[in-house]
Amino acid sequence: MIPLLLWILATTDAAFIGYREAAGRSALINKQAYYRRAMLRGILLGQVAVGIVGMALTVSLLLSPEPVVLVDKLQKAGSRMVLVYLPYALVILLAFVLRAVPSVDLRSITSVVIFGPFTFIRPMVVVAGVAWGFWVVPSLTTLLLGVLILTLMLAMEWLIGRLRTAKLIS
């Protein structure tokens, strides 16, 4: 259950990363297709990131003298990460529900109160989730896994931006 929840959260976050990276780069009026592509791109890169973490986990388990203990530690860390990320995601989801109401004022308020500030605190939430998750299971392996997850979560938007600069995406 915990890995599934984390995968859903990571995929959703990756979709928004794709959106954010693309936003403010197209001045067209009708750009639903442009944003769909951007979100899909984010999701795909998110899966690559999940795959990298998955491989790192597999290698860690293979090399671990006590794989069962490591799995238990990772479950504990994952549970605590979910406790940080899920409320954050639910608030964003609530904002989207409110934004479905066709009111200029209400939609503006969702941006002022939720979307803007929550985008601002996202890096801190990312760090908090990983730190709090891996704090309870301190070891070199979990520390390295935590750093890997942090790096991937925080670097993805920058990475997509680099792909754009290199004209590999448009």
Which 105-144 positions form the footprint of another protein (CB under 8 A)?
Answer: 105, 107-108, 111-112, 115-117, 119-120
CB 81 within 8 A of CB 145: no
**Is 36 among the residues that bind another protein (CB under 8 A)?**
no
**Nearest distance from C-beta of residue 42 to another protein, angstroms:** 17
Closest CA to 126 of 16, 52, 4, 1: 16
Burial 39-74 (b: 16+ CB within 10 A, else e): bebbbebbeebbeebeebbeebeeeeeeeeebeebb
User: Which stretch, 26-34, 36-44, 51-59, 128-136, contacts another protein (CB under 8 A)?
Assistant: 26-34
**Considering only residues 24, 62, 97, 167, which one is a binding residue for another protein as defined by CB under 8 A?**
24
Q: Which is nearer to another protein, 76 or 107 (CB)?
A: 107
